[in-house]
Chains A and B, each alone.
Chain A
Amino acid sequence: AQSVTQLGSHVSVSEGALVLLRCNYSSSVPPYLFWYVQYPNQGLQLLLKYTSAATLVKGINGFEAEFKKSETSFHLTKPSAHMSDAAEYFCAVSDDGATNKLIFGTGTLLAVQP
């Protein structure tokens, strides 16, 4: 079964600094990969998704992620953090069965310091 690992449950950066949130998946077949953002007491908003097209995926709010098959990774980056980026970020992978389910990572809480 598919699984996804997010290293670092908490990440803190200074405003204007690089944001790097890590995600590794387990699959012998390249899956679909997603990054979602969740603000307190709200649902999830899609930042970007990889669907076997370009390996560098650009998303909303200046975020991007690169699919690296050799490293089974899909890390999320943003060159310059903004205070409004403070939120919980979830990496997700498509199920490798016959369903269209998503498997979510445990999440990374991003704090942005002024």
Chain B
Amino acid sequence: GAVVSQHPSRVICKSGTSVKIECRSLDFQATTMFWYRQFPKQSLMLMATSNEGSKATYEQGVEKDKFLINHASLTLSTLTVTSAHPEDSSFYICSAERPGIGYGYTFGSGTRLTVV
């Protein structure tokens, strides 16, 4: 149990276009999901906390208008990278919090974004 599906696993897009990444909790409802960014050989940096039915909470330094987060249902959160540029190329990972389990996070398998 406790599976989080992240799609797509890899995406290549042209500079200036937008890319949407989906994060789904398959067998539980997640009121809270998290989006991380990971640079090569570095740690995970939290970008934002996504709460179902409300606006996401962004970490300091993360551009809200560039990284649009929508958590429209208890099983789906999306991250849209708008007007992507090469510097946005990175590995993006989501995690979903399982209710009733203290700090019970399940991570998605990540999305490798390459902007050319």
Classify chain A's interface size.
20 to 34
- Stretch from A21-29, A43-51, A60-68, A77-85 that touches the partner: A43-51
Interface string of B42-54 (1 = CB under 8 A from A): 1110100100000
Rounded to whole Å, the gap between the CB of B105 and the closest CB of chain A is 7
- The dominant DSSP class at the B interface is strand
Alpha-carbon distance A90/B93, docked complex (angstroms): 14
- Min CB–CB distance B77 → chain A (angstroms): 14
B67 interfacial contact with A, CB 8 Å: no
Can you list the 7 inter-chain pairs with the closest CB atoms, starting with the nearest?
A: A43-B107, A44-B107, A43-B109, A104-B43, A106-B43, A104-B44, A43-B110
Please tell me if the beta carbons of B32 and A43 are within 8 angstroms of each other in the complex: no
Whether A43 contacts B108 by the Cβ 8 Å rule is yes
Q: Check B42–A102 contact: CB distance below 8 A.
A: no
Residue contact B107 to A101, C-beta cutoff 8 Å: no
Q: Please, what's the 1-or-0 string for A95-106, where 1 marks a CB less than 8 Å from any CB in chain B?
A: 000011110111
List 9 A-B pairs, Cβ < 8 Å. A32-B103, A43-B4, A43-B95, A43-B109, A43-B110, A44-B44, A44-B95, A101-B46, A102-B34
Known contacts A105-B43, A107-B42; can you find 19 more A-B pairs with CB under 8 A? A32-B103, A34-B103, A36-B107, A41-B9, A41-B91, A42-B110, A43-B6, A43-B93, A43-B107, A44-B44, A44-B95, A51-B103, A94-B103, A99-B49, A101-B34, A101-B49, A102-B34, A102-B105, A109-B41
